Amino acid sequence: MKKNTLRIIIGIIISIIFIYLSFRNISFKKLSIVFKEMNNPLFYLSFLLTLFFTLLAMFFRGIRWKYLITFSNVNSLYLFIVENFGYFVNYILPGKIGEFAKSFVVSDDKKISFSSVFGTVVVERVLDLLFILSLGIFLPSYIINNIPAFNKIRIFSFILLAISLLLIIFLFLFKERFKMKEGKFFNFINKFTEGFYVFKKPINLILSILATAFVWFFTALSIFVLYKGMHINLPFFNSLITLYFFTLGITIPSSPGDIGPFHFFIIISLTAFGIEKEKALSYAIVYHFSQFFSVIPLGIFVTIKKGLKWR
């Protein structure tokens, strides 16, 4: 069995397990009532606002990526479009290959090294993980007590972050030695480390961190406005908890679109604060759909423009 096929099968199995956990002990009668209650102007308005804030967060991802690509002058609006494409690919194909796909598009369009662009994508993910972990550190103790899985999730995310940082530090410190080596592998590594040059430019790094804060602020806002549209009476602070859990949850390998883990961890973040599981599940389904729906137009646009075929 090919490795890719095995990876896809494992991802599907993991998704099925989390889907089962999400639907376990659900009253489908209550679930249908919750969905019927969505047919009102407040819900439609909140859904539109969720789409708007999601796209605004994506726009700041484009701005951040511009600051990270220190070796070329790339327009932030263009990068915003490509960011949407990357997420679109992640929703329809397994293995999180959207990160590779968007790197390929920028490399091909702007005639710059794929390895260098992909290096900046790695820095993107490290900045995101740093922000989310920082959020977890400052969550009050009563939240930890409410959610038994909190510490396990935090430990896993710390390990993931440590591995990423150690890899970046290692490659950055020994890049001069790699330059002395020949071969495709070392050439890839040399170009890849160009993506880390932002660490040599403090202003770019600071602006990237600031853009990251805006990315997650507007993501939290997209979560919060949908709370209101679905009559989930929790404060804005809880949207940060939902953000923290589903973001770390989707680091678990699964099927395309993170179906299963995405929903399960949102359910945990809501039921821990008294929200019925049926309402929490319906919220997770709607919010997941909003994330996919927001990237479809630009994702399809780039696919057609580049003449890509998903095989």
pLDDT tens digits, residue range 110-158?
A: 888 888 888 889 889 888 888 887 777 777 666 666 666 666 766 776 7
Least confident of 174-183, 238-247, 262-271: 174-183
Tell the burial category of 232 from Cβ atoms under 10 Å away from its Cβ (0-12, 13-18, 19+). Answer: buried
Q: Count CB-CB contacts under 10 A for residue 164.
A: 16
Q: How far apart are CA 47 and CA 62, in angstroms?
A: 23
pLDDT the model gives residue 248: 78
Cβ contacts of 173-181, under 8 Å, gap ≥ 24 = none
Residue 40 per-residue DSSP state: S
The structure's pTM equals 0.86
Q: What are the pLDDT digits (tens) for 69-109?
A: 988 888 999 999 999 999 999 888 877 888 889 999 999 88
pLDDT > 50? residue 231: yes
pLDDT > 90? residue 42: yes
Q: Where are the domains of the chain?
A: 28-299
Retrieve residue 199's tokens. Answer: 């660490």
Contact assessment for residue 68 and residue 112, using Cβ atoms and an 8 Å cutoff:
no
Q: How far apart are CA 178 and CA 119, in angstroms?
A: 15
Q: What are the pLDDT digits (tens) for 279-290?
A: 999 999 999 999
Contact assessment for residue 90 and residue 7, using Cβ atoms and an 8 Å cutoff:
no
Q: Count CB-CB contacts under 10 A for residue 205.
A: 17
**Cα distance between the two ends of the chain:** 18
Q: Where is 191: in which H helix or E strand?
A: helix 184-193
Q: How far apart are CA 55 and CA 215, in angstroms?
A: 10
Among left, alpha and beta (phi > 0; psi -120 to 50; other), residue 290 is: alpha
